[in-house]
Amino acid sequence: MGPTIRDVAQKANVSISTVSRVVNNPLAVRKEKRDRVLVAIKELGYEPNPFASGLRDKRSMTIGAIIPDISNPFFAALLRGIEDVARENRNNVIICNSDQDGSRFKEYMHFFYKKRVDGIIFVSESITPNHFECFQKVNAPVVLAATESLMYDHPFVKVDDYRASFDGTQFLIKNGHRNIGMISGSISDPIAGRPRFAGFENAMNENGLLLQKEQVVFGDLKYDSGYQAMGKLIAKTPDITAVFAASDEMAMGAISFLTERGIEVPQDVSVLGFDNIPAARMIRPGLTTVAQPIYEIGHKSASALFQWVNTGVKPDSIMLDHEIIVRDTVIRKKTESLV
């Protein structure tokens, strides 16, 4: 193993407490000795053993992140934001892939408990009483990223999903679309589901567009469900001119379905996504979408968590701005002058 504090002390001809001081509170040591210690540290390549410190201080310098699936580009980008902040704070992050398998949640929290994480970032899923109970047991600060809890009072960092969806719908309407379908997330999903649906519904209503049941189909935010949902939607409402999908992946699924059926995007039907995942700009036609600042959500939520851990004062929640990224999949609807 590497050199210990004792090796340094010996080399610098001081006591181990002095070495510890120059590492943690250099000002408390007279310059002469301090320099001697610094030299010894450098020469030996000494690094404080984090296990010894952790054992004493009960701080792990580690945070936990619960993420649905890191191989999903949305979460990968978000995680990247978390990681970067953790690194700045000389912390690690332990990642747990929840796989939307609620049953494993308890296990993960247990894992965090075992590992004595200093704080937790909980990404994207909605909070159940079960979650809450587990949070209490680990007894570590919890910050929510891209989700929020109505019932429990955890700080969160996210976009205003309702507002974003409302604006997205408005955007479609401003472009002349009247007959708009929606591929929504599950209505029982209080984040990406209900609010985005509600934003759509209200925007339609406020524009005097009456919403029919047939215009909405539900998916699970992933590609395949978008593909299938589009099939159902087009069967029920063949005359739509635009589709609003609650996630980019579902939008991509919808586009695939449409394209395979010879329905051209955007000439025949426009498609609006939600998220702005990296792939959105890589496909042709480029996906027009309601963008969340994904990296920033991760970054800000981690910053908030560290602030909390370090100062002990619970941070405020943050509502980040969304933005409509105009690419190619939404066009202004031709006026129906011929009709």
Partner DNA sequence: TTGTATGCGTTATCAA
Partner DNA sequence: TTGATAACGCATACAA
Distance of CA 294 to the CA centre of its chain: 6
95 closest CA partner among 106, 73, 111, 84:
111
Structural contact between residues 132 and 125, judged by C-beta atoms closer than 8 angstroms: no
Which one of DNA, a second copy, none interacts with residue 23, CB within 5 to 8 A by kind? DNA
Binding-site member from 53, 170, 179, 202 for DNA (CB under 7 A): 53
Query: Exactly one of 148, 189, 201, 249 binds a second copy (CB under 8 A); which one?
Result: 249
**Does 151 interact with DNA (rule: CB under 7 A)?**
no
Which of 24, 26, 28, 52 forms a contact with a second copy (CB under 8 A)? Answer: 52
Which tokens belong to 103? 């049953």
CA distance 177 to 38: 69
Q: Token match 């009456």: residue?
A: 210
- The C-alpha atoms of residue 165 and residue 335 are separated, in whole angstroms, by 25
**CB count, 10 Å around CB of 90?**
8
Q: Does 306 bind DNA (CB under 7 A)?
A: no
In order of 108, 165, 276, the CA distances from 228 in angstroms are 32, 22, 21
Residue pair 19/5 in contact (Cβ under 8 Å)? The answer is yes
The pattern of x and - marking residues 141 through 180 that bind a second copy according to CB under 8 A reads ----------------------------------------
Identify the CA nearest to 145 among candidates 156, 161, 159, 154. 156
Q: Which of 38, 44, 263, 279 binds a second copy (CB under 8 A)?
A: 279
For position 73 contacting a second copy by CB under 8 A, the verdict is yes
Query: Of a second copy, DNA, none, which one does residue 26 interact with (CB within 5 to 8 Å by kind)?
Result: none
Looking only at residues 6 through 35 of this chain, which bind DNA when binding is defined by CB under 7 A? Answer: 6, 14-18, 20-21, 23-25, 28-30, 32-34
> Does residue 301 contact residue 93 with C-beta atoms inside 8 Å?
no
Q: What is the DSSP string of 95-152?
A: EEE-TT-GGGHHHHHHHHHHHT-SEEEEESSPPPHHHHHHHHHHT--EEEES---SSS
Which partner in a second copy, DNA, none is near 5 (CB below 5 to 8 A by kind)?
A: DNA
Out of 284, 312, 336, 338, the only residue in the binding site for a second copy (CB under 8 A) is: 284
Closest contact distance (angstroms) between CB of 110 and DNA is 15
* Residue (57 or 133) nearer to DNA, CB: 57
The contact set with a second copy (CB under 8 A) reads: 1-2, 47-52, 54-55, 58, 60, 62, 69-73, 76-77, 79-80, 83-84, 92-95, 97, 113-116, 223, 249, 252-253, 255-256, 259-260, 278-279, 282-284, 295
The contact set with DNA (CB under 7 A) reads: 1, 4-6, 14-18, 20-21, 23-25, 28-30, 32-34, 46-49, 52-53, 55-57
